[in-house]
Amino acid sequence: MKKADGQGAREALKHSVVAHYEARLREHGPTARGMDWKDERSQHLRFAMLVDGLELAGRSLHDVGCGSGHLLDFLRARGIDARYSGSDLSAEMIAAARARHPGIPFERADLLADELAPSDVLVTSGLFHVKLAASDADWSAFVRDMVRRMYTLCRHAIAFNLMSDQVDFRVPELAYTSPAETLAFCQRELSRHVRLRHDYPLHEYTVHVLRAPRS
């Protein structure tokens, strides 16, 4: 019974997050604000931190929680020739992504429940920021399950960002995490090849977890 109750709580968590982002999309359209970012400038800075040093040319890249596909715009504008695909829990986001980028493989999918094909690199930007009414413990468990699953599906690396707990002001609906604890988790459970960047002007940090290089 406890397992069933836990599964129900996890589904409710996902439903609330999808509803939150779809409300932003309806209000602002397929823009940075429609993805719940302050502006395009901060969105692009996050993308830059996410892909920096990953050597994406010629590699397949899957964008988890892709929204309306803005990461693809970013990659194209910078001439980064990755084989892009995206997935999102929101049917409305996927419809917006397909309208903006016809012919690109976008799919409505749940990373934790559906079968997805492996990719060289899996990334997600902002997916772990907004916890709404979820408890810190429930949200942390969700994030770690997602990160584990992303790593299982990657052939080269994963990249994600998180709000930092090194702040002097907090918004109750946002999830703040310890960079040290995240680093320890990734090195303990995934790979010792981890990069963590906390040196850019946003209240967050970006993590790269790489598979061991071949000798």
**In the predicted model, what is the mean pLDDT of the chain?**
94
pLDDT in tens, 92-127: 999 999 999 999 999 999 999 999 999 999 999 999
> C-alpha distances in angstroms, 195 versus 6, 52, 90, 136?
32, 11, 30, 24
Give the per-residue pLDDT at 48.
97
Which residues, other chains included, contact 164 with Cβ-Cβ below 8 Å and sequence gap of 6+?
176, 177, 179, 198, 203, 204, 205
The whole-model pTM stands at: 0.94
2-6, 57-61, 192-196: the lowest-pLDDT one: 2-6
Residue of 7 and 80 predicted with greater confidence: 80
> What is the band of 131 on the pLDDT scale with cuts at 50, 70, 90?
very high
Which domains, ranges and CATH numbers included, belong to the chain?
A: 2-210 (3.40.50.150)
Please tell me the predicted confidence (pLDDT) of residue 7: 75
